A and B are shown apart, each in its own frame.
Chain A
């Protein structure tokens, strides 16, 4: 397997930025983007989308409840239950992964999102060092972890 290059990894940064800009009208601040050395610690709501086909691995979006509540409220949503927050973080992960096909092409297979509740860390599956993007949307933090490699 071949690691993604900097340009390919940056696509996910752009995708995260675009997601918040379009859905909330407010740009997030990307606070860091780095190659993590250990399991990356997330927040309590996690959406994970797996890649297959020409790429392997996964993209994880991890957010605290308050951020998801505010994003939903801005969209006019009144159901702020945990079930709805989990659905929202899964849909965000699905959107970021799906947007990658614009550059990675249609041979990139994308799973439906897995949604997990609980601040568990994510351990790299295909990269020795997963690419972690941390951001703040207003005062609220979030994490996107890209653990993806191109199949040789």
Chain B
């Protein structure tokens, strides 16, 4: 599942997945904020989530916390423009498994997702 308030980023990650660059992964849902993400996660039970942090309605850190309360085994990769270390550490402490900074290249995202999948 892809969670990001930007259409551009959701489309880009979707294309990367559909091109087969991330192995046998399918996009089951896309959400533009944390509230949507929680509703869609209940329905689709995603194994892997890319999560933006700065979003309207509910931000990424709160969404990570609530999502993992519902589905503790979900693997979450934060994809965010917030590049300070404190934010990365806060996201990891909430249960995210990795962090990719925006802007990112296709290769950077692909490697981060593959590493996350290998580790689980």
- Verify A112–B84 contact, CB threshold 8 A: no
Q: How many residues of A contact B (CB 8 A)?
A: 28
Chain A residues within 8 Å of B35, by CB: none
CB of B24 within 8 Å of the partner chain: no
Chain B residues within 8 Å of A76, by CB: 12, 15
Chain B residues within 8 Å of A57, by CB: none
Q: In angstroms, how far is the closest chain A Cβ from the Cβ of B1? A: 19
Chain A residues within 8 Å of B68, by CB: none
Q: How many residues of B contact A (CB 8 A)?
A: 24
Q: In angstroms, how far is the closest chain A Cβ from the Cβ of B83? A: 4
CB of B30 within 8 Å of the partner chain: no
Roughly how many angstroms separate A117 CA and B56 CA in the complex, as a whole number?
20
- Verify A105–B15 contact, CB threshold 8 A: no
- Interchain Cβ contacts within 8 Å, total number: 68
Residue of A nearest to B104 (CB): A22
- Verify A75–B103 contact, CB threshold 8 A: no
Roughly how many angstroms separate A96 CA and B101 CA in the complex, as a whole number?
11
Instruction: Answer whether A112 and B55 are a contact pair too, CB < 8 Å, given A94-B81, A97-B81, A99-B81.
Output: yes
Instruction: Answer whether A18 and B103 are a contact pair too, CB < 8 Å, given A76-B15, A98-B54.
Output: yes
CB of B82 within 8 Å of the partner chain: yes
Q: In the complex, identify which listed stretch (A31-39, A82-90, A125-133, A137-145) lies at the interface while the others stay far away.
A: A82-90
Q: List 14 A-B contacts (CB under 8 A).
A: A19-B103, A22-B104, A77-B8, A77-B11, A77-B15, A79-B7, A79-B11, A83-B7, A84-B7, A91-B9, A98-B54, A98-B80, A101-B83, A104-B84
Q: Show the binding face of B for A, using Cβ within 8 Å.
A: 5-9, 11-12, 15, 54-56, 80-84, 86-87, 90, 101-105
Q: Show the binding face of A for B, using Cβ within 8 Å.
A: 18-19, 22-23, 72, 75-77, 79, 83-84, 87-88, 90-91, 94-99, 101-102, 104-106, 110, 112
